[in-house]
Structure 1
Amino acid sequence: MQPASSFARSFPVTGSPVAVMGHMPYRRSGIPVAAMAASYLLLAGNVSPAQAQVMDRDIGSAPSQLVATPLPPNATTQTSVPAFSHPEVVIKNPLSAWLRARGINLLIDNTNEFAGAITPPTRGSNPGFVNYKQGASNAGQYAVQLDIDWEKLAGWQGFATHMITVGRYGTTANRMFGDWLNHASETYGGGGNVVVHLVYMYGEETLYGGRLAIAAGRMAEISDFAASPLFCNFQNASMCGRPKGITDTNFDAGYPASTWGFRVRGRPAQSVYIQTGLYPIEDGIYQVYQHRTGFKFNGANIIGYAAPIETAWEPIFGHRTLPGHYKLGAQLFSTPQSDNFLDIDGRPYALTKAKQKTHSASWATWAMFDQRLLHYRDKDSGLTALWGITYNDPHTSLREYVAYGALLNRGFLRSRPFDTMGFAFTYTKIAKGVSLTEQYLMARGGTMPNHATGVQRGAMVMEANYAIHIMPGIIFTPLFEYYIHPNAQNNLRNAALLGFKSHIQIM
């Protein structure tokens, strides 16, 4: 799944998620700690620029890597499977090289995310405040990725299959201070609380030298659409693994959820693509009762279809050192959804207590951009800006829109060419109908939706971090998160958190 050589100028080759920077795991084998540390330092000193690990790469980012891969300047029409990810690892092993030479790419990693509040939560007489507390949380994910190049294995030209399974653990700190919109740890949730959860499993045929790609199977729609491998340089889930507004409904299959799907992508020019697809909407895709393991392939719960379309321009400026990606997209949901304010007679349902009005379809749109602004010494270094907006159907959505911006500064320090400084913010605007409904419900003492303890209007989440390339296969990222109006409520105290994100590429 690793993109063509031109994309390496845009985003460095790296690995995937993993956890804890604990004790050395080889003590039981009798290998002296000093000798082991020396071998680690030797490996760290031999890191080649092409293999340096950054958080643009983790297990699950491969589809978005391919989306953002322009054709190389010398592209031909010869069909072949795009190269798979080949990240650096903590300890190299001959088995991986042997498998890769035969078209089998097996990756194993873990990501661990810790966040702890350094500010006290809101206190008061509101009954909803009683469970709020100042605390910390840890969440994480171990993941296995299996890519098979059937061209190498069986002579099927241009055909590959991709599969990911994960296991997730822990909880997230934001709910401790009343926020249910944006997780402080992105790896929390969706994994079904099982040892093995299937994320996706699909086949893809690449034709005409990458100018046409067709995929089908169990797919995570939002890994291909409205996606970028840059988003998960951050920990908070308002940004990683995509700006949260794009999965405002439970009808969008985003990692680690998937549905049956079909997608086709064409590249009419070197730096332009257009893609579309059709994804059956499965009821309860984020719910344990239906998709706990991800292996329940039950077509009986299909309730409609999602049809996305996206196009992008991917220029590379400055003597091919300043890549950019400028994409626009939209999608239509055929499944009926309830109005967030009106009843069937066109009056506020919070006042009449009548059944909510039903819309036969709904939609979402997005505009997403990133551009490297400065280039430093290493080919993958530089200052990159990200900005964009997702805008949803205001009559059926919770988040009417989410706007975001971010800066990634990689290799600014000459002595630390693979370290990355990052800053990001997201602003969430709650749909007007939701705010008005909650006003009426509060005035009448009614039950509030969305775990709200006040009227929801708007919220901002900010994050600043510094990703340290510790050694081959390991990244450690101290970070600071700040929530302004948690849960989009003005009556909740702003919250500050300190934490870290660690990633280890095992294989």
Structure 2
Amino acid sequence: MWYDRNASSARSIRMSFCLYISCLSLLCMLVWVSPAIAQVMDRDIGSAPSLLVSKPLPRHASHKTSVPPFSQPEAIVTTSLSKWLRKWGINFLLDSTNEFAGAITPPTRGSTPGFRNYRQGASNAGQYAMQLDVDWEKLAGVRGFATHMVMIGRYGTTANRMFGDWLNHASEVYGGGGNVAVHLVYVYGEETLFGGRLVIAAGRMSEISDFAASPLFCNFQNGSFCGRPKGITDTNFAAGYPAATWGFRVRGRPARSIYVQTGLYPIEDGIYQVYQHRTGFKFNGANIIGYAVPVETAWEPMFMDGALPGHYKIGAQLFSTPQRDNYFDINGAPYAVSGRAQKQHGASWSTWVMLDQRLLQYHTKDTGLTALAGAIYNDPHTSLRNYLVYAALLNRGYFRSRPYDTMGVAFTYTKIAQGVSASESALLERGAVAPNHATGIQRSAMVLELNYAVHVMSGVIFTPVFEYYIHPNAQANLRNAALLGLRVHIQLM
């Protein structure tokens, strides 16, 4: 819901803020009376593929062909039926995530239509999700074969657009879900051979759930970081959750702590648009316009006898579909000046380096201080985000009495491609409309998030959030924006 800054709007904002304070008060009461039972935010539905790739082989792994264990997060409801289903290889999960965010700073004012639409207000966005994994080895005797499916529904809106930002959502669960009751995210089959040394998968897949992925990213709420650093899907041709395309992926582990993987993913035009993928059930492939080929390798050491795990990965992807140049026209002149059609490139690319390392371990196996850092560099001639760098710290279980609470701080810096900035400058000078919803020249943006994830009870996490946008939409002419938020994750079963 959007709120205008008139008298009625001001009352609504105050009510939202009071609701936020009330939730925090309730949260504190629950923390005081509730025992801690293990659950962390990076175990929600959608993280299963990245959780699997983040696990190196056991120390004395066999060569037996078998299905790896499915993710089984703690839940509010644990029934004898679910235990019986898992015994036969059927893993059914159901969860809900709700994200509230409200601006505590006023937006930039101006006389142009873009500025007149800016508001100070609050928003709410949410997602409910279902995951179904089937171990066909247990169910039908098919050695090493499993199938995976996720379906979601999404609702609400995001607060960042109220103050003019279109680069990084304040609520990551907003968008991409089709605005329908049921949206198919992915469904695919996976064969695990030789004790996990070779894994082959095919079907409707989210490429960025396997490549440039980490289950740690969604310990944060803002979209520049969760569910992947935003620069990796800059072209809209890389299939990131909750979007999917037909795909094929193969992963090999030549050593216990090293993997190499690649794949082939058809590029579907309009993958994030409602007109093509409203429900996710459009399978005919009539809108395929090219192919994406990612390659990634990683080293996954386990220092101090496994107490300090780390992940160090490097990767790249090639897009074979034509893309427009962000500066030159078909004759090699600035398109923003000439008015002619933009130059077409036959292909483009993206690269990334990502790492995370636990630096300290506290009282138990899953506690400690973990550092994350990385960089994404895109083709400067076709991209909007030329590069993005990020850094974060996750401090889990620092307080002995709260071993499953997590404190987090994350920072991202986004640099807009030079051609985009130059083109917008020329367009705005002659009074034309700039791309990317820009009301000024886009150059760089920064997003900071601080949060504290409180494990309230089995299957329930409340996370108060503070977000700060520096140069929203990468525009220096927009005021910085501060937001307070609350994220609630409930694992139902």
- TM-score, reference length from structure 2: 0.93
Equivalent residues of 2:261, 2:295 under 8 A apart: yes
Deviations 1:25-50 (A, max 9, x none): xxxxxxxxxxxx99x999x6483xxx
Once the two structures are superposed, the pairs formed by residues 47-446 of structure 1 within 5 Å of their partners are 47=37, 52-446=38-432
2:466 corresponds to which letter in structure 1?
F
Distance 1:212 1:62 in 2: 18
Q: Is the 8 A contact 2:128 2:152 kept in 1?
A: yes
Q: How far apart, CA to CA, are the structure 1 residues paired with 2:32 and 2:330?
A: 68
Q: Secondary structure at the match of 2:248?
A: strand
User: Aligned pair 1:496/2:482, yes or no?
Assistant: yes
- The equivalent residue for 1:465 is 451
2-side partners of 1:319 and 1:297: how far apart?
A: 46
CA distance in 2, matches of 1:447, 1:228: 37
Runs of 4+ in 1 over 6 A off after TM superposition: none
Structure 1 unaligned runs (5+)? 1-19, 24-36
Counterpart of 2:469?
483
Secondary structure of the 1:56 match is helix
Matched residue, 1:26: none
User: Which structure 2 segments of 5+ residues have no match?
Assistant: 1-19, 24-28
1:66, distance to aligned residue in structure 2 (A): 1.0
C-alpha displacement of 1:92: 1.8
3-state SS in 2 of match to 1:414 = coil
1:448 corresponds to 2:434: yes
In 2, Cα distance between the equivalents of 1:298 and 1:338? Answer: 26
SS of equivalent residue, structure 2 residue 114: helix
Q: After superposition, what is the alpha-carbon deviation per residue over 1:385-437, rounded to whole angstroms, capped at 9, x for unaligned?
A: 00000000000000000100000000000100000000001000000000000
Tell me the CA shift for residue 74 of structure 1. Answer: 1.2
Query: Is the contact between residue 41 and residue 471 of structure 1 (CA under 8 Å) also seen in structure 2?
Result: no
Contact 2:36 2:455 in 1 (8 A): no
Deviation at 1:98, TM superposition (A): 1.1
Task: Give the aligned residue type for 1:361.
Answer: A
Could you tell me how far 1:347 is from its partner in structure 2?
0.5
Q: Write the letter of the residue equivalent to 2:345.
A: H
Distance 1:326 1:94 in 2: 40
Which amino acid in structure 2 is aligned with residue 210 of structure 1? G
Letter in 1 for 2:469: Y
2:280 partner letter: G
2:196, 2:32 → 1: CA distance?
39
Question: Is the contact made by 2:192 and 2:198 (CA closer than 8 Å) also made in structure 1?
Answer: yes
Assess if the C-alpha contact under 8 Å between 2:36 and 2:402 holds in 1: no
Quick one: distance in 2 between partners of 1:153 and 1:92? 21
TM-score normalized with structure 1 length: 0.91
Aligned to 1:505: 491
Secondary structure of the residue that 2:71 maps to in structure 1? coil
CA positional deviation for 1:496: 0.1
Counterpart CA distance in 2 for 1:151 and 1:41 is: 44
Task: State the alpha-carbon separation in 2 of the partners of residues 408 and 344 from structure 1.
Answer: 48
3-state SS of paired residue (2:399): coil
Deviations 1:247-297 (A, max 9, x none): 001111000000000000000000000000000001111011111000010
CA contact (8 A) 1:118 1:498 kept: yes
Do 2:67 and 2:137's aligned partners in 1 also have CA atoms closer than 8 Å?
Answer: yes
- Asked if the contact 1:191–1:197 (Cα under 8 Å) also holds between the matched residues in 2, the reply is yes
Identity among equivalent pairs (%): 75
Instruction: Please list the CA deviations of residues 73-123 of structure 1 after superposition, one character each: whole Å capped at 9, or x if unmatched.
Output: 010101110001111111221111111111000000000000000000001
| Kept in 1: contact 2:462–2:488 (CA 8 A) | yes
1:382–1:410 CA contact under 8 A, matched in 2? yes
CA contact 1:405–1:424 (8 Å) conserved in 2: yes
Post-superposition offset of 1:319: 2.6
Question: Within 2, Cα distance between the matches of 1:401 and 1:298?
Answer: 34
For 2:11, the equivalent position in structure 1 comes to none
Corresponding letter in the other structure for 2:404: F
Q: In the TM superposition, what whole-angstrom CA distance separates every residue of 1:436-472 from its partner, at most 9, and x where no partner exists?
A: 0000001111111000000000000000000000000
Look up the equivalent residue of 1:374 and give its one-letter code: L
1: CA distance, partners of 2:78 / 2:189: 28
Give the letter for the 1:125 counterpart.
S
Q: Distance in 1 between matches of 2:321 and 2:136?
A: 37
Q: CA deviation at 1:126?
A: 3.2
* 3-state DSSP of counterpart to 2:488: strand
The 2-side partners of 1:230 and 1:41 are apart by 27
User: Partners in 2 of 1:46 and 1:415 — Cα distance?
Assistant: 8
| SS across alignment from 1:213 | strand
CA distance in 1, matches of 2:367, 2:217: 17
Contact 2:153-2:183 at 8 Å conserved across structures: yes
